Structure 1
Amino acid sequence: MRILVIEDDELTAQALTTILTAHHYAVEVAKDGKSGLALLDSFEYDLLILDVGLPDLNGIEVCRQVRSAAPTPDKPHTPQLPILLLTAYQSPHDRALGLDAGADDYVVKPFDEEELVARIRALLRRASSTGAPMLEWGDLELNPSSCEVSYGSTPLILTPKEYGLLELFLRNSRRVFSCGNILEHLWAYDAPGEEAVRTHIKGLRQKLKAVGAPADFIETVYGIGYRLKPLSNAALLTSTIPTSVEQEVRSKLGAVWTSYKERINEQIAIIERVACESDWTLQASATRQAHTLAGALGTFGFTEGSQIARNIEQILAGCPLKPRALTQLQELLATLRRVIDVPASSSAPICPEVTPAIANLATVQLPSILVISQDRDFLDALESEFLLWNYQCTIATTAKAVIKICQNDAPSLVLLDLDCFDSIATSMALLTSLQQCCSTIPTIVLTSHNELTERLEVSRHGGRLLLQKTTPIPQVLEAVSQVLQRALPTPSKILVVDDDIALLDALTVLLSPWGLKVYTLNDPHRFWETLETVSPDVLVLDLEFPDFKGIELCQVVRNDLHWHHLPVVILTAHSESETISQVFAAGADDFVSKPIVGAELVARILNRLERVRLVRQILDTDPLTGVMNRQKSTQELEAFLRSSDRSHQSVAIAVIDVDHLRSVNAQYGHAAGDAVLRQFGHLLQQSFCSEDIVARWGGEEFVIGMYGVTREDGVQRLMQVLERLNQQALTTENGEIVHVSFSAGVAQYPEDGKDLKTLYRTADLALRQAKRLREETHSQHTISSILPAESDVVLKS
């Protein structure tokens, strides 16, 4: 756990650092309030210890600024950061000032070490998902007081960082932590790289496994980070984890309601001061609180409470309030108190009925890897690394088993050890079989040799990436990750803007099970910077904020050249036709009435995402051939080059021209030429795997991007396409058979160019050479590449 101490007295700061470090906390010290606020803006902490008597900016003012700050996507919990005040003042008034400014607790100087540490533990416990002094997860127990850890009855001996890592997970048992999050929580200024986190995770898993814990006790969430593996129903003592998504969502909503019930009561208390004490200065605030309650209560299942709050809002809107209205207001408040004290029992559906296409759009599957090898040492090393990456791994040792697995449950990626079989011919035959039965599955090949002939054989038989068998296992998994990132879908991002924090947490619970990445913002003044930081796929806006309206934010989005296409969904507690007309007039795509019904909101957002997918498909795809267009492929190719720099892999860029297309147009008509291009584009899509880039750049010109492929391998792959083209005839719309050929040029990154423009020119130059050679030799089709020494490598068929 990471603690920031803001203390100007060097001796006190050193004493605090010594005490807290001894209890396995990571400590950073700031000497004044301004420096402390700067650190809070830059890093995430679990607790703030704050001296009151600071120079320039005193501790009370620092506390106020922390509490008034809006959450950001990378530091969403800063406004709720637990704050412990250190004060030399002992009067009740001085302590009250600190607590009113937002502090959670205080300790009077000179402090007692035991009391200080106990209060810190209490604050961290209150802020975490567990309130128990002893942290438990199944058979694992961690005692923060004695820093002792045991699994069952067996004690665990951990390093300080392993202890801190385990405590972090136990205090936030439902949260997923990225490597960056863990670094911020457990290290101070001298934080190491993310590899250090993986090393500590690996060591901790091994120690847990040694005392009987499951190997995946600490679970990897693909593409996100790490968390404690959810307990089975039998392992829970006080409650059960629901098996269905709907039950789980209801359970989480209940937990959110419990955490915010005190705040709800405070909102009702403000309204009661107007109704019972006739405090008219609070009437505007009370109206706002009633409006917020009307939207939030129904979301948590209190449908009647939501209606009562709406009636209260209507009464408070009148000015001045007559005695009869005050009486009615008091009666409604008493009823509202009774309603929210009874557990919610909403039967409204949470999970919508959606089409399979839309459901698949929101679901991100964990990748499965098929490993083909008989090397036991290699498999053991690979298995331990797979735990860090959370890949579903299947091992096959025979060709027959491989084909059966691919046909029954196709993996996301195949990892083939060429030494698995007695002869290279057997391995090549298996590669060919994989290409025939599941050509879209990328295959990474590991080999003990480094000859060009073997590389060419792998390329000819469908291998997509070739690595040396001596490559360290972590680098092999990095290569697997990069290939999968290009082949698998990424979660859609939703930005929800509402000033009701309880409602934001509820919406996060409702939307997250659908594979959506939810970002929330409760301060509309930070809307624009958050929008540009998050870059969401769908924007959800509340209709009303204290200073301006959601409609105005919607209009700002529609008036911006970059964001005008962004889908906007408005949340509104008003369903009058006039309000709805204003919503659509402002440019919103849809609206959802408060109180929010989970199923309706999810369905509307998923429908918006489906529309986004269709629009992007239209914008990114060449309408004639169905492959990528020039604009989209340029973005993807640039990404290839950046990834190549990080992983030191080559990239092959091919430029292809369909030969004699003008003759086809002249003889059969342009409709026939279009049919030829359409079928040729389909052939290219079939011939290259999903992570390769296939694009039409105009006319009869196509561009191919192949990651992890050399110039020679690229030429061989195009030769395979030529062979397939020779084996099938293209037909016009009238059924007439047309025989076509193509010429191509290939360039390699970074040898033939450091940027896409240069690579294209090099490949285009090779293409022109290939065309000249075809004319000179009367060959049907040629493929050419230019080596750095400017000598030609030309293959003819």
Structure 2
Amino acid sequence: MNSQANALPLLIGTAQRAAVESLQAQLLSFGVPVLVFSRKSALLAALHEQPALAVLIDEAGLEDAATDDVLPLLTRLYKGTVFCITSDVPVIRQIALMRLGVTGFLSWPIDTQRLIDRLDQLADAGKGNPYRVLVVDDSETITRWVSHILQEAGMQVRTLHNPLDIFLALDRFRPEIVLMDVYMPECGGDEMARLIRQHPQFDSIPIVFLSTETSRGRQWQARSMGGDDFLIKNQESDELLASVSITAERYRRLRQWMTRDSLTGLLDHTHLIQQLEVQTVAARAQSYPLSYAMIDIDHFKQVNDLHGHAVGDRVIKSLARLLRQMAPLSDLIGRYGGEEFAIIMPGLSQIRAAQRMDEIRMAFFQLRHLVGEVTLQVSFSAGVAALEDGMSASQLVEAADRALYQAKRAGRNQIGMATMC
């Protein structure tokens, strides 16, 4: 579970403390600590003492200062995102506030889910996840040169001198780009690229050839066998860095679009099952426990029927965000379909996985979804199964699904556990 103590706080400056009490509680339940200040000096002191995820300031001002007086001082101390909370102010006023340093606007009453979405975008932008680069070359000199350049730029680099071991590296390291020599003793890089393209799970990984070959005809021939680009060895380091960065970023965005559910940002059904198959093989090969949980939002049809599909989507997104926060590995969570989710938990026994799921269940049940003047409380049920000897990935899914329906039959809002064979 992610520690809220390590999360950057959201700072709110407003004279209307009561108006943000519910917002403060909601954000805290999502793991976003909130500090509220009604006086200028306290808000500025907090910005001076600690970093913040973002600042929200009331257009109506604080108890002891107008917003126009606070913003110039605030933006000297803080270079991050500043949202202004407004109530139907004209465009000319919004322009004036932007000139004072406001970067976005929110309206009273604040839509918690939309604010959380925007905060998530800020947090993701600040993570700066390094690109993963696999360098395949029989030359120690070349791999050391390439690794030095890319690691200095903050990338994660793995090197491989024998191309025949590449599938193990692809499985374990999951690179976002492969830099591969064309001429190697064991096999040609173009031959290996052609072989890699025979495997659907690796078909879209960019393969960039790195070689001394200067013949354009030979370069195009190599690319036709599965490569995406061709770079000359010992070129300028800036050119190498730029080429790798551009290609890896394009792959990352394409991969996100290809593998993620558009509403939640979690793995879609197909890629969730692919990940489960990969994790099942790895758990069996390395002899560690693996658990799998199926989740279903209780009475979700009633939510849609009574409050509309837009509210239902907000509930789904709320659960998705909570799962990303509290699940052991955020990249092993998927939307199974509709209001169903699933989590792959390598390294956790069934008991430990069930305990973790129960923590998430209680946290989700504590959330309050504001629908106009109505506060909506929603629960979920889950089933947890553990990988046993001889069990396939599909059998693990079936076991967790049976445990889920066991929990639903027992009254919902609880965790069911698959019976061990």
* Aligned equivalents of 1:540, 1:564: Cα separation in 2: 15
Relative distance call for 1:716 and 1:585 in structure 2 (3 A) is closer
**8 Å CA contact retained: 2:263, 2:317:** yes
Instruction: Give per-residue Cα distances to partners, 1:598-626, cap 9 Å, x unaligned.
Output: 22213322332333333333334332222
Residue 687 (1) aligns with residue 320 (2):
no
**8 Å CA contact retained: 1:511, 1:518:** no
**8 Å CA contact retained: 1:656, 1:703:** yes
**8 Å CA contact retained: 1:659, 1:741:** yes
**8 Å CA contact retained: 2:323, 2:360:** yes
**8 Å CA contact retained: 1:692, 1:704:** no
Relative distance call for 1:506 and 1:660 in structure 2 (3 A) is closer
Shift of 1:595: 5.5
- What residue is the counterpart of 2:406 in the other structure? 769
SS at 1:518 equivalent = strand
Q: What is the identity, as a one-letter code, of the residue corresponding to 1:519?
A: L
* Aligned equivalents of 2:313, 2:345: Cα separation in 1: 26
SS at 2:410 equivalent = helix
- What residue is the counterpart of 1:783 in the other structure? 415
Q: What is the identity, as a one-letter code, of the residue corresponding to 1:763?
A: A
Q: Pairwise mapping of residues 599-618 of structure 1 onto structure 2 (< 5 A)?
A: 599-618=238-257
Q: Pairwise mapping of residues 260-271 of structure 1 onto structure 2 (< 5 A)?
A: none
**8 Å CA contact retained: 1:715, 1:783:** yes
- What residue is the counterpart of 1:519 in the other structure? 160
Relative distance call for 1:737 and 1:596 in structure 2 (3 A) is same
**8 Å CA contact retained: 1:655, 1:746:** yes
Residue 623 (1) aligns with residue 262 (2):
yes
Relative distance call for 1:601 and 1:656 in structure 2 (3 A) is same
Relative distance call for 1:573 and 1:766 in structure 2 (3 A) is closer
Relative distance call for 1:646 and 1:659 in structure 2 (3 A) is same
Relative distance call for 1:692 and 1:651 in structure 2 (3 A) is farther
SS at 2:417 equivalent = strand
* Structure 1: stretches of 5+ with no match in the other structure: 1-401, 409-434, 439-487, 522-526, 775-779, 790-797
Relative distance call for 1:584 and 1:729 in structure 2 (3 A) is same
Q: What is the identity, as a one-letter code, of the residue corresponding to 2:136?
A: L
SS at 1:744 equivalent = strand
**8 Å CA contact retained: 1:694, 1:705:** yes
Asked which structure has the greater CA Rg, the reply is 1
Q: What is the identity, as a one-letter code, of the residue corresponding to 1:493?
A: L
Q: What is the identity, as a one-letter code, of the residue corresponding to 2:399?
A: T
- What residue is the counterpart of 1:741 in the other structure? 379
SS at 1:718 equivalent = helix
Shift of 1:517: 1.9
Residue 670 (1) aligns with residue 302 (2):
no
SS at 1:516 equivalent = strand
Shift of 1:495: 2.3
* Aligned equivalents of 1:757, 1:574: Cα separation in 2: 47
Q: Out of 339, 346, 365, which is 1:726 matched to?
A: 365
SS at 1:569 equivalent = strand
**8 Å CA contact retained: 1:626, 1:682:** no
Relative distance call for 1:607 and 1:735 in structure 2 (3 A) is farther
Relative distance call for 1:589 and 1:722 in structure 2 (3 A) is same
Q: What is the identity, as a one-letter code, of the residue corresponding to 1:743?
A: S
- TM value normalised by structure 1: 0.30
**8 Å CA contact retained: 2:137, 2:143:** yes
Instruction: Give per-residue Cα distances to partners, 1:185-237, cap 9 Å, x unaligned.
Output: xxxxxxxxxxxxxxxxxxxxxxxxxxxxxxxxxxxxxxxxxxxxxxxxxxxxx
Q: Pairwise mapping of residues 338-487 of structure 1 onto structure 2 (< 5 A)?
A: none
The structure with higher relative contact order (CA 8 Å, sep 6+) is 2
- What residue is the counterpart of 1:756 in the other structure? 393
SS at 1:784 equivalent = strand
SS at 1:492 equivalent = strand
Residue 494 (1) aligns with residue 126 (2):
no
Instruction: Give per-residue Cα distances to partners, 1:741-772, cap 9 Å, x unaligned.
Output: 22222333439x83333332233223223323
* Aligned equivalents of 2:226, 2:291: Cα separation in 1: 44
What is the alpha-carbon root mean square deviation over aligned residues?
4.9
Q: Pairwise mapping of residues 191-210 of structure 1 onto structure 2 (< 5 A)?
A: none
**8 Å CA contact retained: 2:296, 2:339:** yes
Q: What is the identity, as a one-letter code, of the residue corresponding to 2:403?
A: A
Q: Out of 698, 701, 706, which is 2:340 matched to?
A: 701
Q: What is the identity, as a one-letter code, of the residue corresponding to 1:739?
A: Q
Relative distance call for 1:666 and 1:573 in structure 2 (3 A) is same
Relative distance call for 1:746 and 1:516 in structure 2 (3 A) is closer
Shift of 1:717: 3.3
* Aligned equivalents of 1:691, 1:494: Cα separation in 2: 27
Paired residues, what number?
293
* Aligned equivalents of 1:591, 1:698: Cα separation in 2: 41
**8 Å CA contact retained: 2:134, 2:159:** yes
Instruction: Give per-residue Cα distances to partners, 1:134-171, cap 9 Å, x unaligned.
Output: xxxxxxxxxxxxxxxxxxxxxxxxxxxxxxxxxxxxxx
* Aligned equivalents of 2:145, 2:373: Cα separation in 1: 59
Shift of 1:591: 4.5
**8 Å CA contact retained: 1:769, 1:784:** yes
- What residue is the counterpart of 1:379 in the other structure? none
* Aligned equivalents of 2:368, 2:375: Cα separation in 1: 6
Q: Out of 229, 237, 243, which is 1:598 matched to?
A: 237
Residue 566 (1) aligns with residue 205 (2):
yes
Shift of 1:735: 8.7
- What residue is the counterpart of 2:91 in the other structure? none
Q: What is the identity, as a one-letter code, of the residue corresponding to 1:663?
A: Q
**8 Å CA contact retained: 1:567, 1:608:** yes
Shift of 1:597: 0.8
**8 Å CA contact retained: 1:495, 1:534:** no
* Aligned equivalents of 1:788, 1:770: Cα separation in 2: 16
Q: What is the identity, as a one-letter code, of the residue corresponding to 2:385?
A: A
* Aligned equivalents of 1:647, 1:571: Cα separation in 2: 33
Relative distance call for 1:559 and 1:737 in structure 2 (3 A) is same
Instruction: Give per-residue Cα distances to partners, 1:754-793, cap 9 Å, x unaligned.
Output: 333333223322322332332xxxxx6343335459xxxx
% identical equivalent positions: 26
Q: Pairwise mapping of residues 96-245 of structure 1 onto structure 2 (< 5 A)?
A: none
* Aligned equivalents of 2:216, 2:310: Cα separation in 1: 50
**8 Å CA contact retained: 1:676, 1:731:** no
* Aligned equivalents of 2:237, 2:414: Cα separation in 1: 59
**8 Å CA contact retained: 1:592, 1:600:** no
* Aligned equivalents of 1:649, 1:694: Cα separation in 2: 19
Shift of 1:501: 8.7
